[in-house]
Amino acid sequence: MRNWMFGGIYGTVLASALLAALQSEGEPFTPVYDALWILVTGIAAGLVHGYAHHMATHHTGSAAVRWKRLVTALGDEWPLVVGVLPTVALLLLAGAADWPEETVTTAGLALNTLLLGGWGTFAALRSGYRRGSAVLVGLADATIGLAIAVANALIK
């Protein structure tokens, strides 16, 4: 449970940061290209995180046992990839519907902010927080998404 909550939050934050960073700045908007980059980056981040976790907890054993542990560590990172999928889906939809970049970026950052709030609230409820406190934790997590949106507005 812990891995998929961590991965979901991590993937959502990663997707938000990439969505903001991939704005075209005067170049033609390429939502499908951006979607693929976010997906590839999410997969790469999951693989690197799983490999790093495996190496940090490296145990002795036969090669077969070590490979099994590595494959398990890499497989445990699927929630990070799932965390980027809403943004990838939005960008693919934007490419098919020919939506304007500013609208897509704003909608993506808003969607991810709401998802972060949901992840935080759900994680807090699963950890035993009462509803009111869990919502406050969710709002704190959503603040991360809001910070990315504000940074995007200030930098761009």
pLDDT at position 2: 63
Rounded to 5 degrees, φ, ψ at 25 are: 50, 60
pLDDT tens across the length of the chain (156 residues)? 566 778 888 999 999 999 999 988 788 999 999 999 999 999 999 888 888 877 887 777 777 887 888 787 777 788 899 999 999 999 999 999 999 999 999 999 999 999 999 989 998 999 899 999 999 999 999 999 899 988 888 887
In contact, 28 and 98? CB cutoff 8 Å? no
Q: For tokens 């807090």, what's the residue?
A: 124
Give the chain's domain count.
Answer: 1
pLDDT at position 54: 77
96: left (phi over 0), alpha (psi -120 to 50) or beta: alpha
In contact, 1 and 76? CB cutoff 8 Å? no
DSSP secondary structure of 105-145: HHHHHHHHHHHHHHHHHHHHHHTT--HHHHHHHHHHHHHHH
Range of the domain at 120: 2-155
